[in-house]
Amino acid sequence: MSWADVGAGALRAAFAVSLWGVGAAAYAAWKRDARALRSARAVAIAAFALVLLADLAMVGALLTHDFSLVYVAENNARETPLFYSAIALWAALAGSILLWTLILAGAVVYVALRGTRSLPRLATVALAVLFAMLSFFLLLVTTAAADPFTRIAADQVPADGNGPNPLLQNHPLMALHPPLLYLGYVLTSIPFAYAIAALVLGETSDRWLTETRKAALASWALLGVGIVAGAWWSYAVLGWGGYWAWDPVENAAIMPWLTATAYLHSVMVEEKRRLLRTWNIALVIATFALTILGTFLTRSGVVNSVHSFTQSAIGPLLLGYFVAILVLGVGLLLYRLNDLTDRGSIGAPLSREAIFLFQNVLFIAAMLTVLLGTLYPLIAEAVSGAQLSIGAPYFDRVEVPIGLALLFLMGLGPQLPWHGASRATLERQFTAPVIAAAGGAIVAVLAGMTGVAPVLTYALAAFVTATVVQEFTRGVRARRTLHLEPLMAAFLALFRRNGRRYGGYVVHLGIVMVVVAIATSQSRTTELERTLGPGDAMDVAGYHVVMTGLRDIAEPQRATTVADLVITGNGASEHLHPGLVQYPNSAQVIGSPGIAAGSRDDIYTILAAYDGTGNAWATIRVRVIPLVSWLWAGGAVVGFGALLAALPPPKRRTILVPAPVADAVGAE
Partner 1 sequence: MTGSSKTRWIIVAAILAVGLAIAWSARPQPLTAAEHVDRIAAELRCPVCQGLSVQDSPSETARSMRALVAQRVAEGRTDDEIRAEFQRSYGDWILLSPPLLSPSGLVWLAPLAAVAAGAWLAWRRARGGAPVIAGNGPTAAELQRLRELVASEPE
Partner 2 sequence: MNRIARYSAVALIVGLALVLTLAFRRDPHDIKTGTVGKPAPAFTLLSLADGTSISLDQYKGKIVILNFWSSWCIPCKEENPALTNVWERYRGTDVVLLGVVFQDSADAARAYTSQLGNTWASAIDDSGQVALSYGVFGPPETYFIGADGVIAGRHIGPIDEATLMTGIETLRKSAKQ
The residues that touch partner 2, with contacts defined as CB under 8 A, are: 296, 300-308, 315-316, 319, 322-323, 326-327, 330, 334, 337-338, 375, 378-379, 381-382, 385-387, 587, 612-613
Q: Pick between residue 176 and residue 302 the one whose CB is nearest to partner 2.
A: 302
| 263 binds partner 1, rule: CB under 8 A | no
Q: How many helices (H) and strands (E) does the chain have?
A: 22, 10
372 binds, among partner 2, partner 1, none (CB under 5 to 8 A by kind): partner 1
Query: Do the Cβ atoms of 178 and 96 come closer than 8 Å?
Result: yes
Q: Distance (Å, rounded) from C-alpha 511 to C-alpha 500?
A: 16
Other residues' Cβ atoms within 10 Å of the Cβ of residue 178: 23
In 3D space, the residue among 563, 664, 553, 668 whose CA is nearest the CA of residue 622 turns out to be 563
Angle at 257 between CA 362 and CA 467, to 5 degrees: 60
Which one of partner 1, partner 2, none is in contact with 430 (Cβ closer than 5 to 8 A by kind)? partner 1
Angle between helix axes 34-63 and 93-110 (nearest 10 degrees) is 150
**Contact with partner 1 (CB under 8 A) among 40, 264, 400, 456:** 456
Between residue 379 and residue 418, which ones bind partner 1 under the rule CB under 8 A? 380, 384, 386-394, 397-398, 402, 418
Q: Contacting partner 1 (CB under 8 A), which of 34, 324, 478, 553?
A: 478
Which residues ranging from 213 to 252 are in contact with partner 1 (CB under 8 A)?
239-242, 245-248
Q: What are phi and psi of 639, to 5 degrees?
A: -65, -40
424 contacts which partner out of partner 2, partner 1, none, CB within 5 to 8 A by kind?
partner 1
DSSP 8-state class, residue 176? T
Looking at residues 299 to 318 of the shown chain, list those that interact with partner 1 (rule: CB under 8 A): 304-308
Nearer to partner 2, 308 or 654 (CB): 308
Q: Which is nearer to partner 2, 238 or 326 (CB)?
A: 326
Calculate the alpha carbon distances from 371 to 255, 264, 374 in Å: 7, 21, 5
Residue 565 exposure: Cα atoms within 13 Å on the Cβ side: 35
Residue 603-632 contact track with partner 1, rule CB under 8 A, x = bound: ---x-xx-----------x-----------
Which of 330, 591, 615, 633 touches partner 1 by CB under 8 A?
591
Of residues 114 and 397, the one with the C-beta less far from partner 1:
397
CB atoms within 10 A of CB 553: 12
Site string for partner 1, 268-287 (x = CB under 8 A): ----x---------------
Stretch that binds partner 1, among 76-84, 139-147, 158-166, 371-379 (CB under 8 A): 371-379
Phi-psi region of 257 (alpha: psi -120 to 50; beta: other; left: phi over 0): alpha
Nearest residue (CB) to partner 2, 535 versus 612:
612
Beta carbon nearer to partner 2, 306 or 482: 306
Report the nearest approach of partner 1 to the CB of residue 579 (Å): 13
By CB under 8 A, which span of 28-36, 65-73, 286-294, 366-374 interacts with partner 1?
366-374
Whole-number Å distance between alpha carbons of 266 and 269: 5
CB nearer to partner 1: give 148 or 347: 347
Kind and range of the H or E run holding 317 = helix 314-335
Site for partner 1 (CB under 8 A): which residue of 144, 334, 337, 452? Answer: 452
* Cβ-based neighbours of 64, under 8 Å, separated by 6 or more: 3
Q: Which of 449, 618, 622, 627 binds partner 1 (CB under 8 A)?
A: 449
Backbone torsion region of residue 656, taken as left when φ is above 0, otherwise alpha when ψ lies between -120 and 50, otherwise beta: beta
What's the closest the beta carbon of residue 380 comes to partner 1, in angstroms?
6
159/386 with CB nearer partner 1: 386
Which partner from the list partner 2, partner 1, none does 330 bind, CB cut-off 5 to 8 Å by kind?
Answer: partner 2
438, 487, 553, 616: which one binds partner 1 (CB under 8 A): 438
C-beta closer to partner 2: residue 156 or 308:
308
As a whole number of angstroms, the distance between CA 62 and CA 283 comes to: 39
Q: Quick one: which of 338, 345, 599, 613 contacts partner 1 (CB under 8 A)?
A: 345
Q: Using CA atoms, how far apart are residues 462 and 435, in angstroms rounded to an integer?
A: 9
**Residue 302 interacting entry, from partner 2, partner 1, none, C-beta within 5 to 8 Å by type:** partner 2
Of the pair 285, 476, the CB lying nearest partner 1 is at 476
CB of 275 to partner 2, least distance (A): 16
Distance between CA atoms of 134 and 73, rounded to whole angstroms? 27
Cα 447 from chain centroid?
32
Q: What is the distance between the alpha carbons of residues 4 and 154, in angstroms, rounded to a whole number? A: 13
Sign of CA dihedral 182, 511, 357, 254: negative
CA-to-CA dists, residue 484 to 470, 476, 655, angstroms: 20, 10, 20
Nearest approach in angstroms of CB 280 to partner 1 is 15
| DSSP-assigned beta bridge partners for residue 529 | 621
In the complex, what is the shortest distance from the CB of residue 291 to partner 2, in angstroms, rounded to a whole number?
15
362 CA to centre of own chain: 19
Query: Minimum CB separation from partner 2 for residue 333, in Å?
Result: 8
Shortest CB 303 distance to partner 2, Å? 7
- Eight-state DSSP code of residue 418: S
Which is nearer to partner 1, 208 or 430 (by Cβ)? 430
Indicate the pairing of strand 537-540 with strand 589-592: unpaired
Give the three-class secondary structure for 408: helix
